[in-house]
């Protein structure tokens, strides 16, 4: 397996870990809206399933995984932008959601801290997504185009 593909798989694992944590601790903020309980578990679980399928397909060198991973990370970039803009324009609402969910860490939920954390998350997510897209595309010959053996 080429090194860029290995690094891409590692970055996909970061997303899988985040999904598992979202299932274990079901609280997710999307833009200025909070998901808790079952909706948060379903959201995190859906992302976990998508990433698991991409990971499996890449390991198996399947061309469908190449396409699916490119599409997912392109969508992910759009989601990152939308979430970041929604969060930046609704900062007070997001802080209130965090305070309501986790009052024990109230000192962390200042405008400066939440803004920095959301920007750092946006930037890191963008870098990972672009890395995966660029390196999978550069290594597209790694994937088998034989559609008779789809699984």
Q: Binning pLDDT at 50, 70 and 90, where does residue 90 land? A: confident
Question: Residue 30 pairs with which residues in a beta bridge?
Answer: 33
Helical residues (DSSP H) of 1-144, grouped into ranges:
3-24, 38-59, 63-89, 91-101, 111-138
CA distances from 119 to 27, 28, 34, 91, 147 (A): 19, 16, 18, 12, 41
Minimum mean pLDDT range among 14-23, 72-81, 96-105: 96-105
Q: Per-residue pLDDT tens for 96-137?
A: 888 888 888 888 888 888 889 889 999 999 999 999 999 999
Tell me the mean pLDDT in the region 42-68: 96
pTM: 0.85
């Amino acid at each position: 397996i080429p090194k860029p593909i290995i690094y891409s798989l590692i970055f996909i694992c970061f997303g899988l870990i985040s999904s598992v944590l979202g299932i274990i601790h079901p609280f997710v903020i999307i833009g200025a809206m909070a998901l808790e309980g079952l909706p948060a578990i379903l959201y995190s679980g859906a992302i976990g399933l998508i990433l698991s399928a991409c990971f499996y397909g890449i390991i198996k060198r399947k061309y469908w995984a190449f396409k699916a991973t490119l599409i997912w990370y392109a969508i992910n970039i759009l989601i990152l932008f939308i979430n970041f803009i929604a969060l930046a324009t609704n900062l007070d609402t997001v802080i209130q959601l965090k305070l309501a969910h986790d009052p024990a860490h109230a000192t962390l939920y200042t405008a400066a801290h939440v803004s920095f954390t959301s920007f750092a998350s946006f930037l890191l997510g963008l870098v990972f997504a672009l890395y995966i897209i660029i390196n999978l595309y550069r290594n597209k010959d790694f994937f088998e185009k034989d559609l008779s053996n789809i699984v």
